[in-house]
Amino acid sequence: MHTHHLVRRAVAAVLCLVAAGPAIADYSADPNAPLAIRATGSDDVQPKVAAAPGGGSYVSYFSGTGYDVMLTRLDPAGNAVWKPAGLLVEDRGNSSTTDYGLASDAAGNAYLAYEVGTAIICSSIAPDGSIRWRKTVSFAAGGSVGRVTVASDGFIWVAFIEGSATRVQRLDADGNASFPTGVQLAESGASMFSADIQPSVDGAVIVSCVRYTTFTGAKILRAHRVNSDGSKPWAAVGTSVFTTGSLQFGNFPPFIPDGAGGAYFCWYTSSPLQCFAQRVNAAGAVQYGTSGVAVASTSTTERVSPTMTRGADGRLYVFWSQHTPNSSIYGTFAQCFDGGVRQWGDNGTAVAPLATTYSRTWATGTRLNGGIACFYDDSPSATQDNIRCGILSPKGTVTQTVDVAVNSSVKYRLVSADGVSNGALLFWQGGASAGASDVYGARLNADGTLGAPPSGNPADLNGDGVVNAADLSTLLGQWGSAGSADLNGDGIVGAPDLSILLGAWTS
């Protein structure tokens, strides 16, 4: 897409900004009082986060007795741009929940994919909080577990489970479907259940699926590429991300793009409990051996639930929870990979060293102002969880540990926002202040403090006190490469950075 088209789309997003949103709260500087995103007398659960215009965030969650689909838009300081209670996207009558998807595009529109009965719905929400459209993307057979992403050409893709297969659909900006019956990902005699969907290049997407033949049989990951015309250029049954070992039943690990049309994957096997990483390139070829590379050279301790992020330096960082078998000894660890080679020793580096405690879980990696950090849940008891964050140097040394949320409560389902300008965001569920579970958030600044971002505008690239044509010129001059105009910290200057700059325009 030409640069002037991106500029025009981003300008449109800016014009949609709400003139005066209610400033009812912001990210707290006190770890004993984190920001409540949604706290009602019912369950408020399963938060997800995506970028919003002007450096803000969309936070989605389920709420109410029927697990209604809700969306909140926050500005960079954590103030609610729309009404404080959040936007009701879908009034549901569900008695339980499954996973769902949230994404946003360069124009600032949000997209949610979720279940209503046996149907999969995709809804688009404008930056001003209006619902642009609502489309049923499943077919007569129905579907479950909706997932959504935005491709490089701006089209929206939804993946969902249909019977024993996965089906994907492509939608244009108005919600019109590209394929009459979608594109099926299947294998005769096997189940192929979608785990995640992410953009590739040239308008294509990559879909990961959990594949198995019997309920008790080995469960592996398959990766499929689907082009904008619906063709599938990789193997008909997908590329096997790994062939040795098995995922635990019910585990559907996410993945991340590698920035070159391929993807990074990480997962843990059920026997033994060990974490691995793999890269699949744009041609569908595995790069780290047939079954990936282990995060550690030993398997005497249990390593589970890995997450990962791609650093601004292009390296892959993986984080996990570690446990000494048959003990109460837990820790949080990390490993850095460069070209599939471990960089932080044979067994990684300790974000929180092994120690006797109730548990340490939810290791959640993120970029922090070009560096790397790891949020984790440090639990002294079954009724108390403390969220902390370890900030790491490029050599894997923990330079600072920050208390993020230590208020009295349990905390789980941690999700971070990668590439936040001059900081990192974290959202989680738990901490019942009103109902059985609530949704909270926190911002960690680049200097290790909590709370709203410090004064100063990161979009003011030349430091003259205003965001104007001079800063735009700097950004366009760095387009497609790394540089000071990488406002969202993803390692490349592109449309999301342009949207942030235009959202901060002052003269």
Q: What is the pLDDT of residues 382-397, one digit of tens each?
A: 999 999 999 999 999 9
Tens of pLDDT, residue by residue over 117-152, are 999 999 999 999 999 999 999 999 999 999 999 999
- Of the pLDDT bands very low, low, confident and very high (cuts 50, 70, 90), residue 466 is confident
pTM metric for this prediction: 0.86
Please give the Cα distance from 180 to 165 (Å, whole number).
17
Q: So where are the chain's domains?
A: 457-507
Cα distances (Å, whole numbers) of residue 229 to 284, 485, 488: 18, 33, 30
Looking at domain 457-507, its CATH class is mainly alpha
- Range scoring the smallest mean pLDDT among 49-53, 445-449, 457-461, 475-479: 457-461
Q: Are strands 87-90 and 68-74 parallel, antiparallel or unpaired?
A: antiparallel
pLDDT of 419 over the 80 cut:
no
| Nearest-angstrom CA–CA distance, 446 and 448 | 5
CA-angle at 431, arms to 430 and 436, nearest 5°:
65
Task: Count the neighbouring beta carbons within 10 Å of the beta carbon of residue 469.
Answer: 10
Asked if 374 and 418 count as a contact pair (C-beta separation under 8 A), the reply is no
Paired with 433 in beta bridges are none
Q: Mean pLDDT check: name the lowest of 363-377, 463-477, 481-495.
A: 481-495
- Measured in degrees and rounded to the nearest 5, phi and psi for residue 25 equal -165, 170
Between the alpha carbon of residue 109 and those of residues 9, 58, 237, 268, 413, the distances in Å are 11, 10, 33, 34, 25
* pLDDT of 6: 36
Per-residue pLDDT, 462: 67
Token pair of 392, please? 């790491």
**Which residues, 6+ apart, have CB-to-CB distance to 462 below 8 Å?**
470, 471, 474
Residue 405's pLDDT band (cuts 50, 70, 90): very high
Around Cβ 315, how many Cβ atoms within 10 Å? Answer: 16
Number of CB atoms found within 10 A of residue 284's CB:
17
11-51 pLDDT, tens digit each: 333 333 333 333 446 999 999 999 999 998 889 999 999 99
Q: Look at 94-98, 223-227, 502-506 and tell me which has the smallest mean pLDDT.
A: 502-506
**CB-CB contact of 438 with 412 (8 Å):** no
pLDDT band at 456 (very low <50, low <70, confident <90, very high): low
∠ CA 297-299-300, rounded to 5° = 125
Closest CA to 67 of 133, 11, 131, 117: 117
